Amino acid sequence: MDMDGTLEPTEGTVKGFTHYPEDDPMVVFMNEFDGTPLAGERWDAESDCIFLDKAMDGAGTNEDAIIHVIANRTNAQRQKIKKKFKTAYGEDLIERLDSELSGDFLETVMALFVPPAHYDAWCIKEAIYGPGTDESVLIEIFGTRTPKQIQEIRAVYGDVASPNRKSGETLIEQDIEDDTSGDFKRFLISACQGGRNELDPETLEEAVEPVLFEDKPTGQFIINMEKLVNVAKAKRDAQKLFEVTEDQLGTDEEEMIRIFALPEVYQSRATYDEYVKLTQRDVENTIDRETSGNFGKGLLTMVMALKCRPKYFAERLVWCMKGLGTHDSDLIRVIVSRAEIDMVQIKECFLEMTKQTLWNWIDQDCSGDYCKILKAIVGQN
């Protein structure tokens, strides 16, 4: 399974930094600093720390140097840089950056230094504990994360949301209970379990078939997608969905949650296909017709993410930047959280959708060092 919970190949724009190329600014810097010949050498957290320290020394800050390092390292590498910096200088790198930077640029840098599950947990906490409730953040995270990612969020949420008192995995449910209501609350409680079925190894193994040429094996294999799903169950779920929505007065929201929340991704797609055959409309159309408010938005997000996560996030990015003003925190969250997972595919969907590159939209919509770091993460190509 890929990082996005499917078998489809995905690729991030931020990859592990392995060796310093000859034209890397750090090569020149380290040669001048202490004569270290860095060109061609393997990545070294200590050299990054020295580079960052000098970028923040004295009057003014070399923001370009900070962007150069941070935007080109994975989250795991940034965690090593944090630890190495404190060891080397007896000072917390995050506190140092916080004192040197500001605004949306600072928010982006801070987000990049937080482990993914902690960052999602922090975003959820902010959406709930802040003034009012930011339902769109809750919908985005709970509607798009894989079961494994949600389980990781649950495991750290208590430490993030309530660091000064002991709390367990149920705190996230308590906070949802206290802050939301009705069908939307039930949707979130369901989604925050991280309990969606996943492909089991036996089913996947049975679906792997050899590629034959003139009845002889070629040594290559393909996945027979039809063997990944239970077609009879997909038909039953499609029929049941029709019965609790279009085929009766009123809507059975509890049954809708069950049908949308439990099947694994390929079983869900099979149900959606069967639903189209049965009703001559897609499930998104039925959700629009039969639900309203945040409950409906939550179901739509879940369906869109199961069908194609990159396309969902491309649409989300358009929403972040379209029209007057920019939803900066949302823009930062989407770019940071997808940078190592499927940003390459998101960019492809974005280009197809808008006929412009994501890099160009960011260039036109943002400014300053904030703009530079976002463009460095997503890449121009």
Mean pLDDT of 9-36: 95
118-191 and 197-283: same fold?
Answer: yes
Architecture of the structural domain at 118-191: Orthogonal Bundle (1.10)
pLDDT confidence of residue 249:
85
Q: How far is CA 88 from CA 29, 50, 213, in A?
A: 18, 9, 60
Which CATH superfamily groups domain 25-112? Annexin (1.10.220.10)
Q: Options 3.60.10.10, 3.90.1150.10, 3.40.50.300, 1.10.220.10; which CATH number does 197-283 get?
A: 1.10.220.10
Mean pLDDT of 159-168: 84
pLDDT confidence of residue 3:
75
User: What global pTM score does this model have?
Assistant: 0.94
At residue 342, does pLDDT exceed 90? yes
pLDDT confidence of residue 202:
86
Q: Which tens digit of pLDDT belongs to each residue from 48-72?
A: 999 999 999 977 899 999 999 999 9
pLDDT confidence of residue 20:
96
Contact 229, 267 (CB under 8 A): yes
Q: Which tens digit of pLDDT belongs to each residue from 167-199?
A: 777 899 999 999 999 999 999 999 999 999 998
pLDDT confidence of residue 300:
98
Mean pLDDT of 298-306: 97
pLDDT confidence of residue 1:
67
Instruction: State the pairing for strand pair 208-213/216-223.
Output: antiparallel
- Give the residue from 89, 39, 98, 88 showing the smallest Cα distance to 66: 98
Confidence bin at 97 (pLDDT 50/70/90): very high
- Cα–Cα dist 200/203, whole Å: 6
Confidence bin at 130 (pLDDT 50/70/90): confident
- Cα–Cα dist 196/263, whole Å: 6
- % of the chain residues with pLDDT over 90: 83
Question: How long, in residues, is the chain?
Answer: 381
